Amino acid sequence: MYQIAIIIFDDFTDIDFFLLRDILGRSQKDWAVKILGTKPSHISTLGMEVKTDGHVAEASEADVVLFSSGYKGIPAALNNNEFMASLKLDPQNQLIGSICAGAFILAKLGLLDGITATTHPDAKSALEAEGIYVLDKALVVHGNLATAGGCLSQLYLTGWLAERLYGVDKRREIHRQLIPAGQSETFETLISRTLSEA
C-alpha cells in the first residue's frame, strides 16, 4: 500500500487542504494518507484545527508528498527553519506535488531548478522572482514532480497521482462523486486533456 503525506502548517488555505484530503480519502485500500506538520495540530486560515499524524520529517518515508498552500502560511513556513530543514525529499523515488503557493516550498528546496512550474495566478510574479519560469497552466509535470495552480486544479493534481500509481480507472474512481451531474463527458475530456498536456 502506498503512503501519501500531505504537508500542512499554520494558516494553510482551507480548500487546498480539505479538498485534497477528501479526494484522496475516498480510496482506503490502495493508499494510506498521513497529515504531517511541525506541531500536533495546525490552524487553517479560517480557523479550522487539523490534527497531524506525525512530524514533517516523516515525509522522507512516504511514496507521495503533497504540499498544501496558504497565502499567509507559506511565507511563515519558508522562514521556519525546523520545517524546511526537516524536508529530505527524493524526486527520483518519490512523487512530489504542490497546489498553488505550495510551489514556493518546492522552489526553496531546489526541486524546481531549471524546470517550469505553475502556481495560483496571484502568486505568479512572486514565484518568477525566485527564478522559476511559471507557466499559465493548471498543471505542470516534470517526471515525478507536479505543480498545480488554482484550488480546483486539485482535480488534475489528484488525477495525475492516481494515474501514475494505478491508471485511468483509479483516477475516474476517486473523482466520480465530484463531477457535476450531466457533465461527466465534459470533465473527462477536460481532465484527460489537461493531464496529457501537463
What's the pLDDT band for 115 if we cut at 50, 70, 90? very high
How far is residue 61 from each of residues 10, 33, 107, measured CA to CA in Å?
23, 12, 21
What's the pLDDT band for 144 if we cut at 50, 70, 90? very high
Q: Which one-letter amino acid corresponds to residue 24? A: L
Give the three cell numbers for residue 179: 463531477
Q: What percent of the chain has pLDDT over 70?
A: 100
Q: What is the pLDDT of residue 51?
A: 98
Return all residues near 190 (Cβ < 8 A) that are at least 6 apart: none
What is the reported pTM? Answer: 0.97
Residue of 164, 162, 165 lying closest to 176 (CA atoms): 162
Q: What is the pLDDT of residue 27?
A: 86
Q: What is the pLDDT of residue 67?
A: 98
Over range 119-131, report the average pLDDT. Answer: 96
Residue range 158-193, pLDDT digits in tens = 999 999 999 999 999 999 999 999 999 999 999 999
Q: What is the pLDDT of residue 192?
A: 96
- Whether residue 154 contacts residue 97, with contact meaning beta carbons closer than 8 Å, is answered with no
How far is residue 115 from each of residues 32, 36, 63, 93, 142, measured CA to CA in Å?
30, 27, 22, 18, 8
Give the three cell numbers for residue 189: 475530456
Q: Which one-letter amino acid corresponds to residue 8? A: I
Q: What is the DSSP letter of 94?
A: S
Q: What is the pLDDT of residue 61?
A: 97
Residue range 21-68, pLDDT digits in tens = 999 998 888 999 999 999 999 999 999 999 999 999 999 999 999 999
Secondary structure class of 186 (helix, strand, coil): helix
How, if at all, do strands 64-67 and 54-55 pair? unpaired
